[in-house]
Structure 1
Amino acid sequence: MLNSRLHLLTILLFFGILVAAPNLKSQNIKDATNWDLVTDKKDMQVFTHKNQETSIKDIRITMTMHAAVPVVKEVLEDVEKYSDWVYKCEDPERLQTVSSKEFYYYVRSDMPFPASDRDLIIHSFHRIDPATGIYSSHSLASPDFLPEQNGVVRVRLFESYWTVTPNQDGTVQIDYRVRTDPGGYIPTWIVNLGISVGPVKTMERFSEMVHQTTERVADREDE
């Protein structure tokens, strides 16, 4: 049961890959300070932060990798492939494309008995600043986009930000921040434990996905 709960939180932490949305004054984590370092690897750091909205900690991940911003953008916007790199993610589906910079998508987590399934609907906006080349996205759950399903807990609190900044040496600096509450009964200590487990695996797979995409882009350019 512990593993299934960690599984759930890991998925929820990364569902809102690209999103953006209206104001959420009381839930803006973009400018949060006083982050506590919980994992420090060679090119990746994971931080947590206490907030006043929920007992579940916010999470922040910073990472440096060799990549071009357009390649990172391609990976982040390919919803159907999220299950290839987001740890334990299943059946991501794009629901509606509003424009080249805006879309909705859905993810459901099929949880083992007796835990109830969770689902999450995300509204996504994203852009590249033409002056700086910085890619940014802001994520927010859109729980009322579709009717709720019987027996499934709709996640109503989710906000995340991605910022991808190009460096002169051919690397990019990634800053990812997220706040969520999976709803229903999951002990807070289990949820907070989960935020220090899944993120590392997810970002390691993300780095691999970016590398593979970089190679495919290079092959296309050589043809």
Structure 2
Amino acid sequence: MHKVLLITLLLTAKFIPVAAQNNWIPEVEKEGIKIYTGVLPNSRIKAVKAQCNVKATASQVVALLMDVESAVDWVYHTKSCTLIKRVSPDEIYYYSEISLPWPLQNRDFVAHLKVSQNAVTKVVTIDGPAVKGYVAEKKGIVRIQDSKGKWIISPAGAGHVNIEYTIHVDPGGTLPPWLINMFAAEGPLRIIKNLKLQVQKPVYKNAVVDYLLD
């Protein structure tokens, strides 16, 4: 059950910006996905970085990540994911609840997603810090307050992109840091594997995001 829990909590923060971390330690390399962990100042919970090459365009990946309501189909144990506010095509707020096995309490969070692109390099960055407000905290659900992550999508030749995903999340509650760290690499590995499959679905495969240069 603990393994399931930690995979779930790491997946919940898929959109949620992580502090600079240079001392990355290789943990896993599987199916073309490389996973690293690192220690951040003033935190006993490890940060995680995933890297891989994906057969997709930047538009495909961004279209998927900004389609937050699709998370129930591919983000492990997502009970609900709801768009709260669309500020612009490249900026949104959303709420998500994560289902955990009894007797553990579900987790939830509110995130603010913002997409940007370097006009010269065409590198796309998606930041999505957890934010307060918008949705009142709910009885029996632990609100994730500290979650920082970043997606970097870089051109890698015709029809391919390199993806770098960094994440640092404190799931809150009484879970000990050693338990969280034990399975830190597994969540990002699973989410990248799912992403590689999801972007090939028809709704994303031919996606064109108007504000991006593919």
TM-score by shorter chain over 0.5:
yes
- Tell me what 2:57 maps to: 68
Q: Does the Cα contact within 8 Å between 1:75 and 1:213 map onto a contact in 2? A: no
* Pair 213,37 (structure 1): closer, same or farther in 2 beyond 3 Å: farther
Instruction: Give a deviation string over 1:77-97, Cα, whole Å, max 9, x none.
Output: 111112222222231111111
Residue 36, structure 1, aligned to residue 25, structure 2? yes
Measured in 2, the distance between the counterparts of 1:10 and 1:215 equals: 24
One-letter amino acid matched to 2:194: R
- Tell me what 1:80 maps to: 69
Measured in 2, the distance between the counterparts of 1:206 and 1:97 equals: 23
- Tell me what 1:132 maps to: 121
Q: CA deviation at 1:215?
A: 7.5
Q: Does the Cα contact within 8 Å between 2:12 and 2:75 map onto a contact in 1? A: no
The two structures, once aligned, show a CA RMSD in angstroms of 2.0
If the length of structure 2 is used for normalisation, what is the TM-score?
0.88
Q: CA deviation at 1:153?
A: 1.2
One-letter amino acid matched to 1:205: N
Structure 1 SS opposite 2:64: helix
One-letter amino acid matched to 2:55: H
Q: CA deviation at 1:213?
A: 4.1
Q: CA deviation at 1:102?
A: 1.1
Residue 160, structure 1, aligned to residue 168, structure 2? no
Residue 9, structure 1, aligned to residue 13, structure 2? no
Measured in 2, the distance between the counterparts of 1:120 and 1:73 equals: 21
- Tell me what 2:161 maps to: 172
Instruction: Give a deviation string over 1:113-155, Cα, whole Å, max 9, x none.
Output: 3222211100111123332221111121013232211222111
Which of 184, 187, 193 is residue 182 of structure 2 equivalent to?
A: 193
Which of 89, 111, 122 is residue 100 of structure 1 equivalent to?
A: 89
Of stretches 201-210 and 1-10 in structure 1, the one that deviates more from structure 2 is: 1-10
Measured in 1, the distance between the counterparts of 2:203 and 2:112 equals: 27
Q: Higher helix proportion, which one? A: 1
If the length of structure 1 is used for normalisation, what is the TM-score?
0.84
Instruction: Give a deviation string over 1:151-172, Cα, whole Å, max 9, x none.
Output: 2211100111111001234321
Q: Give identity over the alignment, percent.
A: 26
Residue 45, structure 1, aligned to residue 37, structure 2? no
- Tell me what 1:221 maps to: none
One-letter amino acid matched to 2:104: A
One-letter amino acid matched to 1:122: A
* Pair 61,7 (structure 1): closer, same or farther in 2 beyond 3 Å: closer
One-letter amino acid matched to 1:32: Q
Residue 149, structure 1, aligned to residue 147, structure 2? no
* Pair 106,215 (structure 1): closer, same or farther in 2 beyond 3 Å: closer
Unmatched tracts of structure 2, length 5 or more: 208-214
Measured in 1, the distance between the counterparts of 2:182 and 2:116 equals: 33
Instruction: Give a deviation string over 1:167-195, Cα, whole Å, max 9, x none.
Output: 23432110111111011101222211222
* Pair 13,37 (structure 1): closer, same or farther in 2 beyond 3 Å: farther
One-letter amino acid matched to 1:9: L
